Amino acid sequence: MSLKLTILGCHSATPRVNAHPTSQYLEINNRHFLIDCGEGTQRQIRKYKIGFSKIDHIFISHLHGDHFFGLIGLIATFGILNREKDLHVYGPKGIKELINMQLKLSSTWTKYTLIFHELTSKKSELIFEDEKVTVHTIPLHHRVYTNGFLFREKEGLRKVDLSKTVLYPEIDTCDYQNLKNGKDFVLENGTVISNKTLTKNPNKTKSYAFCSDTSYKPDIVPIIKNVTLLYHEATFLNDREDLAKKTRHSTAKQAATIALNATVEQLIIGHYSSRYKDITLFKKEAETVFPNLILAEAGKEIKI
């Protein structure tokens, strides 16, 4: 099991030469997800050599331009590349109408099937699940309906403890799969050897919580408790807490407080306001509360 996050963009408001709006590419347990799609995302995907064909699920946190204006371009490019696989888009109610109107008025049609999963719930809900990963929403508080997303690996198979199985000659390699699946082993004389005696716990699962634009919202802490990696927006420093509250954004200190209270393993902060020319100020402020943190920067990869 593994987790790798690539930051494609991490600044707020308008894109600039060296400041790209929000987008991230997540690889978790051999699954590939695009999170938000600000303007220019597909160029960032090419720049950092991410395979277009790997993206089958796109999660949009909210309908502000710096989080989804790149989506229509990416959808059109998939068509130019003769994509055939279905593409799933998860986002607020209205995203289907927005994209379909753009496709219609530009006479752009996809040969592949575009499937929208529109979100309206203000409570955390399961929106994606397969045999390896689940995705839940994280209800946030912004100027428009907004969700973060919680990605979790499912627990893997147990690991056969060869130092224990060798004590029982009746156990053959063909029995290992049953042991990995958690089954006990029954000897020919009827004695039951418990699975925990013969196996070790599976690898610890990993999780990633993406908290997009939001005011300080302590009630998300139970949802993201103990996650491996948390991204939390930090648009302002504490000197502009009044402005953060007014615009429903967070400060670096507030993001760090959420990480501390949720006992996450590692924090990433981003979505910096353009009024700050030195982003290291965000790190200095946040690490006074939660020291194990990373500053988001375009092209940065976080591997766990």
**CATH code of 264's domain:** 3.60.15.10
Q: What average pLDDT does the segment 48-59 reach? A: 97
pLDDT at 109: 86
Portion of the chain with pLDDT greater than 90, in percent: 88
Give the model's pLDDT for residue 232.
98
Judgement on whether residues 195 and 224 belong to the same structural domain of the protein? no
Predicted local confidence at residue 198, as pLDDT: 87
Query: What pLDDT is recorded for position 16?
Result: 82
**Residues 84 and 25 placed together within one structural domain of the fold:** yes
Regarding whether 80 and 136 lie in a shared domain, the answer is yes
Is residue 82 scored above 90 in pLDDT? Answer: yes
User: Final residue of a domain: which of 200, 231, 256?
Assistant: 200
Does residue 263 carry a pLDDT above 70?
yes
- Please indicate whether residue 66 is annotated as part of the active site: yes
Residue 156 has a pLDDT of 87
Q: Which of 36, 56, 66, 184 is catalytic?
A: 66
Q: State residue 85's pLDDT score.
A: 96
For residue range 192-239, what is the model confidence (pLDDT) as tens digits? 999 999 899 888 999 999 999 999 999 999 999 999 999 999 999 999
Residue 59 clears pLDDT 60, i.e. is over it: yes
Same domain assignment for residues 32 and 116:
yes
Question: Is beta strand 266-270 parallel, antiparallel or unpaired with respect to 229-233?
Answer: parallel
Note the pTM of the prediction, 2 decimals: 0.92
pLDDT at 1: 56
The pLDDT-based confidence of 297 (bands split at 50, 70, 90) is very high
pLDDT digits (tens, 9 = 90+) for 125-146: 999 999 999 999 999 999 999 9
Domain that holds residue 138: 3-156+203-303
* Inter-residue contact 19 to 273 (CB < 8 Å): no
Q: Is residue 140 located within the same domain as residue 225?
A: yes
Indicate the number of domains in the chain. 2
What's residue 51's pLDDT? 94
Q: Are residues 248 and 286 in the same domain?
A: yes
Whether residue 152 is found in the same domain as residue 168: no
Amino acid (1-letter code) at residue 270: G
Same domain, 95 and 171: no
Q: What is the pLDDT of residue 157?
A: 86
Residue 129 shares a structural domain with residue 250:
yes
CB-based contacts of 304, cutoff 8 Å, min separation 6: 2, 3, 4, 206, 228, 229, 266
Query: Is residue 127 domain-shared with residue 242, that is, in the same domain?
Result: yes
**Same-domain check for residues 21 and 133:** yes
Picking from 200, 229, 257, the residue at the C-terminal end of a domain is: 200
Instruction: Match 């400041």 to its residue by tokens.
Output: 19
pLDDT the model gives residue 253: 98
Shared domain for 260 and 171, answered yes or no, is: no
d(CA 140, CA 122): 8
